[in-house]
Amino acid sequence: MLVDRFGRPLTSLRISVTEKCNYRCVFCHREGLIDYKAEQELSPEDWGFVAKVSKYLEISDAKLTGGEPLVRRDIVEIVREIRSNGLSVSITTNGSLLEKYAKGLAEAGVDHINVSLHSLREEVFRRITGGDLGRVLKGIDAALSYGIRLKIDFVVLSWNKDELMDIIEFASRKGIDVNLIELIPLGLDNGLYKELHVGVERLEALLKSRVLKVEIREFQSRPIYYLDNGVRVQVVKGFCNPELCAKCSRIRFTPDGKIKTCLFRNDNLVDARPYILNRDFNGLVEAFKKANSLREPYFKPGRGYPHVNG
């Protein structure tokens, strides 16, 4: 297992399989790839090779993201390749194509899926995402019908801040959990960030009125609230949060095979693409080791941070 110089083990991958997306979410940070244009996307077999090397390094799981990962017509094959090489696989999606792919993803062995659901009001949802709420709700039902474990990702904004409890009640009816995510300024100008940002602390007070217990997850020190209706709400505060960074055990891949050490950094990418395409096992191991040596907490105690716009 790789451990960085801050004592953080490397156990997880976050893989952006495409830059393409069929939504236009107002807060999109493109996985931190603001000024990056990827080369040709890697194939399912390429990602299977990455998983094989990752398993050797005792990395246990991969989360697939984008862009929107389900716009790739071979997304089921990507999941199958990664699973067949020993990693568990989850996906984060806007849900618009989930109804189409739910059966295939279930059969390929997807572990769970995070579905972005930022409003239950059609007009608000369209304002935030530019998408169709009805398609997302059908996708959620389809995934559940095939036994896929789901979680809702809810980014709190000034436009939807009064909907958290509605989202939680919806989740309770469906038997799924919720990520309450604070907006980060990556990719946003200062004016829009200030207009949209709502601190999660204000909403945590609502959760505390219905909480049965609270625990802190080892990964990124995320608090999890167990509510009286059976829903678990995980709070994700990704900006100016040293506690999160101190417990981060993840590394990222771009769609074309470069290793990215942190959401907020593009100045130290490690080019693993040649090793992946050439199936150079030892070369990719060394690329992982180099990237791991560059890993460090972005937010540290006592350090001030300017606005991040990519």
Domain count, the chain: 1
161 found inside a domain: yes
Rounded Cα gap, residues 61 and 210, in angstroms: 32
Provide Rg for the chain, Cα atoms: 19
Nearest C-alpha neighbor of 157 from the set 148, 149, 167: 167
Beta strand segments in the chain, E: 12-16, 61-65, 88-93, 112-116, 149-156, 177-182, 211-216, 223-227, 232-236, 250-253, 258-260, 270-271
Q: Do the domain assignments include residue 171? A: yes
| pLDDT value at 307 more than 50 | no
Provide the CA 293 distance to its chain's centre, in angstroms. 23
Q: What is the DSSP letter of 96?
A: T
Residue 119 covered by a domain: yes
Residue 184 has pLDDT above 70, yes or no: yes
Helices 44-56, 75-84: crossing angle, 10 deg rounding = 30
Mean pLDDT estimate for the chain: 95
pLDDT value at residue 37 = 84
What confidence score (pLDDT) does residue 303 get? Answer: 64
Q: What is the pLDDT of residue 304?
A: 56
Which SS3 state, helix, strand or coil, does residue 267 take? coil
DSSP notation for 237-250: --SS-HHHHHT--E
Provide the 10 A C-beta neighbour count for residue 274.
12
User: Is 305 part of any domain?
Assistant: no
- Contacts of residue 304, defined as CB under 8 A and 6 or more positions apart, other chains included, come to none
Over residues 104-120, mean pLDDT:
98
Q: What is the DSSP string of 170-219?
A: HHHHHT-EEEEEE---TT--HHHHHHH---HHHHHHHHHTTEEEEEE-SG
**pLDDT tens digits, 18-38:** 999 999 999 998 898 887 888
Query: How many separate helices (H) and strands (E) can be counted in the chain?
Result: 11, 12
What range does the domain containing 60 cover?
A: 12-294
Is 144 part of a structural domain of the chain? yes
User: For a pLDDT cut of 90, what percent of the chain falls above it?
Assistant: 88
Q: Is 74 within the bounds of a domain?
A: yes
In a domain, 211, yes or no: yes
In this predicted structure, what is the pLDDT of residue 309? 45
How far CA 159 is from CA of 177, 192, 197, in Å, comes to: 22, 12, 9
Q: Is the pLDDT of residue 305 over 80?
A: no
pTM, rounded to two decimals: 0.94
Residue 212 lies in a domain: yes
CATH of residue 189: 3.20.20.70
How would you classify the pairing of strands 112-116 and 88-93?
parallel
